Structure 1
Amino acid sequence: MKKTALLLVLCMVLSAALFGCSDTGTTEGDSTTPPASDNNENTDEQTPARTDLNLALTETPGTFDPHYTSLAVEQTILKQVYEPLIRIVGDGEEFPVLATDYTISEDGLAYTFNIREGVTFQNGDELTASDVVFSFERAKASAYLYTATEAISSIEAPDDHTVVITLSRVYAPFPQYLEQVYIISEDYYNEVGEDTFAAEPCGTGPYTLADYQTAVSATMEAYPDYWGGEAAIKTLNFKVISDTSTTLIAFEAGELDCIGVPPANWADIEASGKYSTQIVSGVNVGFMMMNHEVEPFNDKLVRQAISHAINRDDVCLMAMDGMAVPAYMLPNPDQVTGATEDTVMLEYDPEKAMELLAQAGFPDGFDAGPIKVTSGLVEKVAQVVQSNLAAVGIDSTIEIVELTAYSTDLTNGNYGLGITAATIGYDFSMYSIAYTSSAIGSFNFARYQNPEVDSLFSEALSTVDSEARNAVYKQILDIIQDDAVYVPIFYPATGSAANPNLNYNLDRGNVYYDWSWK
């Protein structure tokens, strides 16, 4: 048996409450904390540390069902309430949560998890292996978790604290997907029913959802019987503030304790010396989607032309105020295992774009219709893209759509062009959800179908040897890059600012459990 040890540490993350376009990231550069103000002189009588934290949600959550959501804003809440067996942080390091450790059978098919003892759900019920089995069986029925669960052939609980997950084939990246499946209480779900379950979450995490006012606010309270010990911060107060300027004003007025700083304001905030600041980057990518079931985006030449038409440098400078770098592929080759720059890159070349349009039968260009986006930074990106497209003869408009409706439109293929930003993962295998035909209706927003790509992803996922697996990934990259499935545009770098008295750390996981006040 091969033993996979898990470090007994909980991970933390910068949430979508701070950055609306992403819920993951790794910290780069130094964290800057200003010296104490002269107004905060030490006295014999110390002021008690605060126990509340005030944050902003950039959008309105639509559901709190952990198995049927893909929105970062919903994950911000869910990751405080629910927990997976293990969590993946940084460059793929595994941290134990509800599983203390696990073993893998010699044939690579059976994963045996030891379930942490003494854990209770927030309604007082004890966590047992049957809850884990129920959770994975429910997750298998969800299109949102298809990639994470499709290789599972059986889930069994030989006793109350052991779970055996058997795969139908060797699936090398399986542990990387485990953090996507939150463990829920079987009894609670059956008792309250699906609707109440989606509105009143009950997990094993460090915080409970005490109050939620749709489109207004959410209040979370520390769970006193949390297995890791009660959180130092007792209350999380979230305000729904969709406008970044309003968020910044609230932060500067002291109404919020930590925010993602709009790129246009980063230099001023950092130079002020008033706040703790950090730069966060990761695998988040901003990209244009083209619906391959809608003409003329079903034509590879048109898609290639669109990619050549977009000046990524202009987008990074004009829309992102320099807080981004150009992207020519969805997986960031500097961050994602298995991704390589040694592949097709459809870079800015407007003359080539017009040549390709002529080959496709559009020598004078065409009307592309609306580019669907949500409000905020992506809208600014769309404005630059719209100008770039017009320069090669492609006319378009910009249509701003509310987030939940936008997600539904993308999932159902109710669009021609759209721009979004998303975080997929740190291993190239995870990008199968954007390219395989089985993921149409979930994250394959392009509705791209290529049997060869489907087959190659299956081959890669069952290849244990990393060098051989990366060779298959290279074949996939060459195909999808040439097919111009999407138009990658930028990898954002996000600056955060916080109250200087807040001990905060930015990492993957979206959990505020280890944050505290000085």
Structure 2
Amino acid sequence: MLRRSTGLTLLAGIAAAAVILTACTSAPAPSPTATSTGTPDPDATITVGLVLEPTNLDIRRTSGAALEQILIDNIYEGLVTRTQDNEIEPRLASDYTVSPDGLTYSFTLNEGVTFHSGTALTSADVVASFQAVKDDPTLQGNADFAQVATIAAPDAATVEITLTEPNQNFLFALTGPGGLVFQTGDTTDLKTAENGTGPFTLSRWNKGSTITFARNDTYWGEAAGVAEVVFEYIPDFTAGVNAAIDGSLDVLTAVDPNLAPQLEQTGEFVLTTGRTTDKGTLAFNNKKAPLDDIRVREALRLAIDHEALVAAVGAGQTMFGPIPELDPGYEDLSDVISYDVEKAKSLLKEAGHEDLDLTLTIPSFYGTTVPKVLVSDFAKVGVNLEVKSVEFATWLEDVYTNRDYDLSFVLHVEPRDFGNFANPDYYFGYDNPKVQSLYAQALAETDADASAALLAEAARLVSEDHAADWLYNGATITALVPGVAGFPQDSINSRINLQDVTVAAK
């Protein structure tokens, strides 16, 4: 998950999701969210345990999963949003059309939408919000608006956006922070307060402890199912489980797979396993010897027992290419690579590296499970792996900015981020003109299926070039008390839409 305008925008999210999701096994099919056994209580409060607290609430200027997770769809809304399956659907827009040439997007606004301040939403607010993103490189989503030519409001209920060239990802980009709509001329201090259009309002923020939302009783759409949501921030996984068991929480997200049995054994929780676009990525520095040799990169991938690694981590599934199952262009690429120690040794010998010393640079919050597996697996093929555990700020400086590394490990959690492999300036240092051409074609392709096919072709090339290794596609475990219904289970590392959540009356 990294981006800066296609890079650093989500760097803080890496930290967020990294802490949120440290583990991943062959993920079972998603189980249904807990079903209420009683009548929903409209006056209920639901307490949700999360891991990483935001540093401030200004989602326009601050990146990271910690903000998107709670604010998008709950406090702030865009013209469109996305489902847990990463499908795009209308939100503030009642409907939209895209011209056959893929250049013009026309949106019709829902009627009766108001900001939390009481001011009615008009197309002028949308135009001002989007124009700001286009013009201000410090705003989240600025790079996604690079191909926007004009943003216009033909009338109070219509917005038209014209691109300079087709971009298959543009509508999806509008589901992120750059596509959120803010009140024109609003003077609210968005670092500590809010003025959105969503089904909840910010009630209070006890920094270092909790953030509380209250139902917006003047919401333009269907009212939220609970009167209040309390997000309780518990960065320690064991403490989170203890809080759930002692009755302090109704929902605990990001359950450590190794601690999940403690919750199951109580018989008081329903545990769900959700899908994500989290990619546990073992980055190779493609521009630095000996990783600039494809034989070395392939050997390292062959040396990894991915099934065993996933089992050690605890929740998720193997993946063998850069596109996860929830994203367009996904293809099972397990035919590209396998676990083959002898072949790995042979390739290293051929490359002149029978005895090889490499360093793995990893942010310290990821723990030791992945490094231990890699050290053990690489040792079997004659590779001595030194693990360099660093603070995240150091990782950003050394790895992401200065490219001073051999191998690195982070969770890339953002959906549809394949473009990182089409960017030779990204910290992977991977430069394949054919991949870059296919990616450009995929973006310019107006037919979604044809675009996905081009992405799949490009992703296969990336995997065949062994540009990196994808250790696992993460899963997330959520524990709920009986009576909670409608709580999302997929993709909740990036957002938790709480509008339809209910709690049964006691």
Compute the TM-score of the two structures, normalised by the length of structure 1.
0.80
Indicate the residue corresponding to 1:412 in structure 2.
Answer: 401
**Which position in structure 2 is the counterpart of 1:383?**
372
Provide the C-alpha distance between the structure 1 equivalents of 2:326 and 2:103, rounded to a whole number of angstroms.
Answer: 28
Residue type at the aligned position of 2:269:
Y
Q: Give, in whole Å, the separation in 2 of the partners of 1:303 and 1:258.
A: 42
1:395 aligns with 2:385: yes
- How far the C-alpha of 1:247 sits from its partner, in A, is 0.6
> Which one of 279, 288, 293 corresponds to residue 285 of structure 1?
279
Return the offset for 1:407.
6.0
Written as runs of structure 1 = structure 2, the 5 A alignment for 1:335-484 is 335-341=326-332, 345-368=336-359, 370-375=360-365, 379-392=368-381, 393-402=383-392, 411-413=400-402, 416=405, 417-425=407-415, 430-437=416-423, 440=425, 444-466=426-448, 468-484=450-466
Deviation at 1:113, TM superposition (A): 0.5
Q: Give structure 1 stretches of 5+ with no counterpart.
A: 1-15, 37-45
What is the percentage of aligned positions where both structures have the same residue?
25
Distance 2:283 2:444 in 1: 29
Corresponding residue number in structure 1 for 2:501: 515
Partner of 2:108: 114
Q: CA distance change for structure 1 residues 244 and 95 in 2, over 3 Å: closer, same or farther?
A: same
In 1, distance between residues paired with 2:432 and 2:283? Answer: 17
Give the 3-state SS of the residue equivalent to 2:190 in structure 1: helix
**Kept after mapping to 2: 8 A contact 1:233/1:516:** yes
Contact 1:390 1:396 in 2 (8 A): no
Q: Counterpart amino acid of 1:487?
A: D
Deviation at 1:107, TM superposition (A): 2.8
Alpha-carbon distance between aligned partners in 2 of 1:365 and 1:183, rounded to the nearest angstrom: 49
- The Cα of 1:35 is off from its aligned counterpart by 7.7
| Cα 1:254–1:203 shift into 2, 3 Å | same
Matched, 1:97 2:91: yes
Q: 1:303 to 1:145 in 2, by over 3 A?
A: farther
Q: Distance between the aligned counterparts of 2:243 and 2:323, measured in 1?
A: 34
Counterparts of 2:32 and 2:486, CA distance in 1: 13
Task: Give the match's secondary structure for 2:386.
Answer: strand
SS of 2:175's equivalent?
helix
Q: What code does the residue aligned with 2:184 have? A: D
Report the 3-state secondary structure (helix = DSSP H, G, I; strand = E; otherwise coil) of the residue aligned with 2:461: helix
Tell me how far 1:160 sits from its aligned partner: 2.1
Deviation per CA, 1:40-85, whole angstroms, max 9, x where unpaired?
Answer: xxxxxx9976522222221232343334455222212322221111
Determine the structure 2 residue equivalent to 1:276: 270
Answer whether contact 2:19 2:365 (CA < 8 A) is retained.
no
Q: Note the C-alpha offset of 1:248.
A: 0.5
Q: CA deviation at 1:504?
A: 2.9
Assess if the C-alpha contact under 8 Å between 1:114 and 1:162 holds in 2: yes
Cα distance between partner residues in 1 of 2:70 and 2:44: 18
How far, CA to CA, are the matches of 1:314 and 1:117 in structure 2?
Answer: 53
Q: Is the 8 A contact 1:371 1:382 kept in 2?
A: no
- Summarize the alignment of residues 109-148 of structure 1 with structure 2, pairs less than 5 Å apart: 109-140=103-134, 141=137, 145=141, 148=144
AA partner of residue 240 (structure 1)? Y
Give the drift of 1:365: 0.6
Structure 2 counterpart of 1:98, which letter? L
**CA separation in 1, counterparts of 2:449 and 2:102?**
18
- Where 1:448 maps in the other structure, the secondary structure is coil
Q: Does 1:178 align with 2:174?
A: yes
SS of 1:512's partner is coil
> Is structure 2 residue 146 aligned with structure 1 residue 150?
yes
User: Is the CA contact 1:82–1:182 (under 8 Å) kept in the aligned structure 2?
Assistant: no
TM-score when normalising by structure 2: 0.82
- Residue type matched to 1:513 in 2? Q
The answer for the alignment partner of 1:500 in structure 2 is 482
- Report how far residue 184 of structure 1 moved: 3.5
